[in-house]
Amino acid sequence: MKNRYALFFALLAGTVVLLFANVFVQQRMAVIVKEDKLVDESFAADGTPPIVAFSTMALGGFRGLIADILWIRAGDLQQKGQYYELVQLSDWILKLQPKFSTAASHMGWNMAYNVSVACKRPEDRWRWVRRGIQLMQEAVTMNPNDPNVYHELAWIYQHKLGNVLDDAQRYYKETMARQLIFIYGKHYPDWDALAAAPATEAALLERFPADHPAWLAILEYNQGDLARLFGEFQMNGDLPKELKDKLSPEDASVLDSYFRRKWLKKEWNVDAEKILAVDKEYGELDWLLPESYAIYWGHEGLAHTPGDNLALTRLILHSLVATFNYGRMLLPKENEISDFFLLVPNTGVIDATRTLYQKVMKSPEYNHSPFESLYENFLIDSIVTLYTYSQKDAAAQLFKELRTETKNKNARTMTLDQFVLNEWEDDITTGDFKQIGNELEGLLFTACLLIGYGDRDAAADHLALAARVYASYVRQHQDLDRVALPSFDEMKARTARAIIENYPPEIANRIRAELEEDLKKQEQAGAANASGSAADQEAANP
């Protein structure tokens, strides 16, 4: 009898001790869970999306089986080249297995890359890329702490839309810019205002309580049906005139910002507040371009994953470099997208790029060697670009860094001016007549175009550079007995004429205004030439 009770009490005591100890363990575990983001906060906060909850519960163990069947069916159909079911199947597979981020990444990549190239028309291609993006956006919602999905999404933006590998890449950029500018209202929206706008309907109602004149105006307009108002806003891109007239300018601006913020979130799943943060961190980006969105998603990915992530960092870096090279969109008419857009460098991101590079270099985790050459090339490019765009001071600073931080010989031995010219002349001395001609034409083209787009300083720099190149070439090849290049002015005028003929009137007019004299001279010279060549021709043919 005594033995039995003794055992029981001993076990009881042991249990109590263990439970007590467990409390400490649990606390430690909770901290780890939070740190390493092992639980998806977004799911926990809003609850599982109903369709996912339904499929998990209703289908039970069959969920995986059905997902497999759908997957194989999708692959099967794709082999046959029948794509029309793919969007639906991908959506279902994602809903059945929301946490399977690798599968989602694959499907998104598949639609954006493989299916899109199977279409001939750029509109169709855009549609498939967009579908891939939308699928990835949903995958991000389901897996907010998974770096894979962020990477895939950012990659599609940067590599597919941003890069120039796809034949339809200009179409992509144009369409994206068109859609975005409609939402933004203008090319460079006031991100501060948008970020400060109410984020939810509740916040809006707080801002405009029941007795506020703005709310009363809304009530008068359509009995306070915000949803319908939102719909109208999306259709027209602006508040209805009736309503706008009744609101004070500040209130109208707040309402406008609220809708735009909401619209942006709905269509592209990006938040104005976060865009502002990215802008502040990386420099002012042009948010009509895909590279900016790539940076956004890379940044989001880093924010949501514990520790550092090499892939995401590298992606951000590449996007920054791309932004530096082509990250600003010039439009013939401001705030109006046309297919005559021009992509020019965005020098605002240089600092951020440098900071990120240095961070990467300092970090012991990363293998440095691929980054070193990348950095060196980046510095050289940025120095040349800054110089060309007349930002000599910034160029000088970078030049100093190039001297000290890298192993570049030229930097150590030459001055800034020599260095830049050397970079340019490198191509000139080694190239032949055709190449030089192409180079010069390129420079002149850019110069004239910049005139057309209204950036006269940059144009002047380019012209200056073109002149120097021309002079340098003439100097180097004056002894050769070959058909020489046409005169510099003639080349300039010819290029200008080509642009005038092919580009919209806004651009043409600006060029005409700037280069009036040159063009007139060209005409007279051309008339003389024409008569001359006509005589030559007659002589040639009997």
Partner 1 sequence: MTAFLAIVKLTIRSAVRSHIFRLLLILLLLSIFLLPFTLMGDGTPKGEVQIFLQYCLGFAEFILCLSSVWLACSEISTDVENAQIHMIVVKPVRRAVVLLGKYAGVVLIHLFLLLIAAVAVYVFLSFRLSTSDISEQDRTMLQEQVLTARALYRPVRPDFNAMAQEELDRRIAEAKGHGQDVVQYRDDLGRQEAFREIRKELIATYGLISENESLFWQFEGLPKHLDDDDVIFLRYTIYVNRYYIQDQNSVRGQWAFAATYVRSDDDGNVVTDLVAMPEDDYLTAAQNEMVVPLRTSYFVYDGRAEVGFLNKDTKTSELNFEEGRGPFLLVRETGFFSNYCRAILVMAIGILSITLLASAVAACMSLPIAIFATAAYMLVGALANYMVTSLPNVTEFQAETKVTFGYRFGDLMLNLIVPLQDFFVTGYLANGELVSFPFIGLLFAKDFILRMLPVFLLGAWIYTRRELALVSKRG
Candidate list 79, 223, 524, 531; residue touching partner 1; CB under 8 A? 79
- Among 55, 78, 257, 346, interactor with partner 1 by CB under 8 A: 78
Give SS3 for 142. helix
Nearer to partner 1, 117 or 467 (CB): 117
73 binds partner 1 (CB under 8 A): yes
- Range in contact with partner 1 (rule: CB under 8 A) among 84-92, 153-161, 187-195, 299-307: 84-92
Q: How far is the CB of 40 from partner 1 (least distance, A)?
A: 25
Output the smallest distance, CB 124 to partner 1, in A. Answer: 7
Q: How far is CA 275 from CA 169, 196, 299, in A?
A: 24, 12, 10
Examine residue 88 and tell whether it contacts partner 1 (CB under 8 A). yes
H-only helix segments in 414-515: 416-430, 433-453, 456-477, 488-502, 505-514
Please, what is the minimum distance in Å from the beta carbon of residue 80 to partner 1?
6
Which of 75, 370, 505, 532: binder of partner 1 (CB under 8 A)?
Answer: 75
Q: Which of 476, 468, 465, 463 is nearest to 433 (CA)?
A: 476
**Which residue, 75 or 442, has its beta carbon nearer to partner 1?**
75
Judged by beta carbon, residue 73 or residue 274, the one nearer partner 1 is 73
DSSP letter, residue 146: -
Q: Name residues contacting partner 1, limited to 423-442 (CB under 8 A).
A: none
Nearer to partner 1, 171 or 433 (CB): 171
Site for partner 1 in 35-64 (CB under 8 A): none
Q: Which of 323, 319, 286, 284 is nearest to 300 (CA)?
A: 319
Neighbouring-strand partners of residue 366:
none
- Do the beta carbons of residue 260 and residue 229 sit within 8 Å? no
Nearest-5° angle of CA 130, CA 136, CA 137? Answer: 90
* Interatomic CA distance for residues 105 and 108, integer angstroms: 5
The burial class, CB within 10 Å (0-12 / 13-18 / 19+), for 271 is middle
Q: How far is the CB of 182 from partner 1 (least distance, A)?
A: 19
User: Minimum distance from CB of 491 to partner 1 (Å)?
Assistant: 34
Q: How far is the CB of 98 from partner 1 (least distance, A)?
A: 17
Residue 337 CB, nearest distance to partner 1 (Å)? 21
> Smallest distance from the beta carbon of 216 to partner 1, in angstroms?
36
Q: Which stretch binds partner 1 (CB under 8 A): 67-75, 195-203, 252-260, 335-343?
A: 67-75
The helix-helix angle for 249-268 and 213-222 (nearest 10°) equals 60
- Contact call for residues 214 and 255 (beta carbons, < 8 A): yes
Q: Are 108 and 155 in contact (CB under 8 A)?
A: no
Residue of 1, 2, 20, 80 interacting with partner 1 (CB under 8 A) = 80
Phi/psi at 269 (5° precision): 60, 30
Distance CA 452, CA 465 (A): 18
Region from 71-79, 328-336, 417-425, 427-435 binding partner 1, contact rule CB under 8 A: 71-79
What contacts 43, CB < 8 A, 6 or more positions away?
142, 144
Answer for which of 50, 61, 81, 542 binds partner 1 (CB under 8 A) is 81
**What are 342's strand-pairing partners?**
330
DSSP 161: I
> Nearest distance from residue 159's CB to partner 1, in Å?
15
Q: Does 86 help bind partner 1 (rule: CB under 8 A)? A: yes
- Identity of the residue, 121 or 186, whose beta carbon is nearer to partner 1 in the bound complex: 121
One-letter amino acid of 161:
L
Rounded Cα distance, 417 and 273, in Å: 42
Contact positions with partner 1 (CB under 8 A) in 340-369: none
Q: For helices 505-514 and 488-502, what crossing angle results, to 10°?
A: 160
Which is nearer to partner 1, 129 or 420 (by Cβ)? 129
DSSP readout, 277-289?
A: HHHHHH----TTS
**At its nearest, how many Å lie between partner 1 and the CB of residue 131?**
7
Near partner 1 by CB under 8 A, which window of 81-89, 321-329, 413-421, 433-441?
Answer: 81-89
120-159 mask for partner 1 (x: CB under 8 A)?
Answer: x---x--xx--x----------------------------
Q: Does 414 bind partner 1 (CB under 8 A)?
A: no
Phi and psi at residue 390, to the nearest 5° = 60, 30
Which of the stretches 11-19, 74-82, 194-202, 343-351 binds partner 1 when contact is defined by CB under 8 A? 74-82
Residue placing its CB nearer to partner 1 in the complex, 118 or 219: 118
Q: Which amino acid is at 74?
A: A
Determine, following the binding rule CB under 8 A, whether residue 87 of this chain makes contact with partner 1. Answer: yes
Q: What's the closest the beta carbon of residue 104 comes to partner 1, in angstroms?
A: 15
The upper half-sphere exposure of residue 468, i.e. CA atoms within 13 Å in the direction of its Cβ, equals 15
Strand partners, 329: 343
Cβ at position 172, least distance to partner 1 in Å: 15
Report how far residue 153's alpha carbon sits from residue 160's, in angstroms, rounded to the nearest whole number: 10
Determine if 84 is a binding residue for partner 1 (CB under 8 A).
Answer: yes
Q: Assess contact for 371 and 314: CB atoms under 8 A.
A: no
Q: By three-state DSSP, how is residue 218 classified?
A: helix
Q: How far is the CB of 494 from partner 1 (least distance, A)?
A: 32
Q: What is the residue-wise DSSP string for 47-59?
A: -S-HHHHHHHHHH
Number of amino acids touching partner 1 (CB under 8 A): 26
Binding-residue pattern over the window 95 to 124 for partner 1, x denoting contact by CB under 8 A: -------------------x--xxxx---x
The type of residue at 17 is V
Residue 392 interacts with partner 1 (CB under 8 A): yes or no: no
Q: Where does this chain bind partner 1 (CB under 8 A)?
A: 69, 72-73, 75-76, 78-88, 91, 114, 117-120, 124, 127-128, 131
